[in-house]
Structure 1
């Protein structure tokens, strides 16, 4: 029986958190906390972080355990047992105010209402986050990725309409747990604000670049990136052409409000990139070089 008890105790979660526990309870420092064992058993025993002699003053009564004068050493994973059988666990932490200790920044990935938020926090902690959407609905908790003091999570607001004025800001709520403490933080923002001021991702390269020789001039046409929102007349892009002359000189031209251009003279090859004209001037990657002679030979081949 002692061997079975030792084996079960080894299966108790360690006191170091790697993910949000399914059940936790927050108490004020020096306050009393009542933990309830979710069981029909009336006679149970308790451990703290697997230790049958917890570092706290406890009052056990049936399925409840009262922690008197909660402090940091008294925080941790409280488990209730029926003999060697684990019945329930509750992680108890101390509420902590971290004014200014969590710095959040959010960056829009597009104008579709999706964005990424990142923040800093205590190194030995885990986080989750949820969004109150612009229509007032509450989103599900999202586990945060990262660690060692840097965290992030992706979100989307299905009620966001890029053509309408945002009447209510989004609210992002963060919850964090360390081995001993609980902390929370919230921020408010509009999707349009973070899309215009803090673009997280550059546009993808333009697509469908085609070349046609017409009366001694080279006609180029292309399309916006497939991931860029529509309509094109509303979500415009600024394009940059780069072409190479026979002597190796490379020339650049800007094209705004159009997805085609005419080039005169002898051009060896060409490529194009783009950026959002309303955000900071960060260009997309270039398309691959299009060789003019190779393209013309391919067009002449019978299909």
Structure 2
């Protein structure tokens, strides 16, 4: 089930970046910020976005550059030079103070420690995300895929144990960067709260005498053994008159119906954790010849 996990900051409109710069620095709006040139050279010159006359009030002292009263025009790429030789580059941005609702949702297909998160942001931004795993270790930064303000990333926690009780939540850290602004937000959740199984598979329908026999299998992504990772199944079948009926089955992967049925489909959920039902399977039509015999009765 998709989970709304909070309000975070979205960034100011700007031209899009394509990736996080190797080195960036975040300052407060209208505050001062000191940029250092990573070099042994004692005398350097500075440019902002390639221009030798930056749009900011600056104090240059040897290998350091102090930007006074950082504002949006003063953000950008600051490079230090020794003559015509580029020594170092730092991307300077403002910590965003603009609050908007950004719906971040995470979903797992099972208890295997893998999950997928997605979120929206209405401005030109690049995102990356990092997972603090269940054993407390930090994962690598993962670049987020994006399409028209929709962002997503997938993660795997190799230390996650599906048989153990979750004692502390996972932490997902998001960083967003535009050409002027930056955000950093952390999201906490338990895997048990975001599990939504895939639909059951291999649904079959057979006529056995006066009864209709239905059988199915758990989702391929659902962990084993079945005795430990139980599922509750929800069958929905449509009668010949168009009426839809629900039937619930737990602890079995087959059932029988005596009604005159046109078609059936099935969904499932973990009955002991989050009550998120899987998507429905596709409708399974009862054999047309069988329907003809049922109508003739």
Question: Shorter-chain-normalised TM-score: which range?
Answer: 0.7 to 0.9
**Can you give the 5+ residue segments of structure 1 that lack an aligned partner in the other structure?**
1-13, 296-303
Q: 1:231 to 1:204 in 2, by over 3 A?
A: same
1:270: Cα distance to partner?
Answer: 3.5
1:272 aligns with 2:265: yes
Is the alpha carbon distance of 1:232 and 1:290 closer, same or farther for their aligned partners in structure 2, counting shifts above 3 Å? farther
Q: CA deviation at 1:25?
A: 1.8
Structure holding more helix per residue: 1
Q: Deviations over 1:233-279 (max 9, x none)?
A: 3231322142554xx55553413112112234765x54321131644
Residue in 1 that maps onto 2:88: 88
Which of 200, 204, 227 pairs up with 1:210? 204
Alignment CA distance shift 1:260-1:93 (3 Å)? same
Mapped to 2, the partners of 1:286 and 1:215 lie a distance apart of 26
Shift of 1:165: 1.6
Q: Distance in 1 between matches of 2:94 and 2:122?
A: 15
Tell me, yes or no, if the aligned pair for 1:131 and 1:173 is still in contact at 8 Å: yes
Among 284, 287, 291, the alignment partner of 1:292 is 287
Q: Secondary structure of 1:89's match?
A: strand
Counterparts of 1:281 and 1:133, CA distance in 2: 24
The alignment status of 1:107 with 2:106, answered yes or no, reads yes
Larger Rg: 1
In structure 2, C-alpha distance between the alignment counterparts of 1:182 and 1:214, rounded to whole Å: 65
Spell out, residue by residue over 1:31-70, the C-alpha distance to the aligned partner (whole angstroms, 9 max, x if none): 24132145x66665432012111122334456x2412425
**Aligned length in residues:** 270
Aligned mates of 1:132, 1:261 — CA distance in 2:
43
Measured at CA, do residues 143 and 155 of structure 1 come closer, stay the same or move farther in structure 2, by a change above 3 Å? Answer: same
1: distance between equivalents of 2:43 and 2:276? Answer: 68
Quick check: 1:35 aligned with 2:30?
no
**Residue by residue, what CA displacement relative to the aligned partner does 1:16-36 show, whole Å, maximum 9, x if unpaired?**
533211211223453241321
Cα contact 2:33–2:70 (8 A) shared by 1: no
Shift of 1:138: 0.5
Normalising by structure 2, what TM-score? 0.73
**How far apart are residue 131 of structure 1 and its match?**
1.5
Offset from partner CA, 1:166-206 (integer Å, 9 cap, x none) = 122222222222323333222322222343xxx5xxx4433
- Pair 1:224 & 2:218 matched: yes
Structure 2 counterpart SS, 1:55: coil
- Contact 1:144-1:153 at 8 Å conserved across structures: yes
CA distance in 2, matches of 1:214, 1:143: 54
User: 1:21 maps to which residue?
Assistant: 21
Matched, 1:239 2:240: no
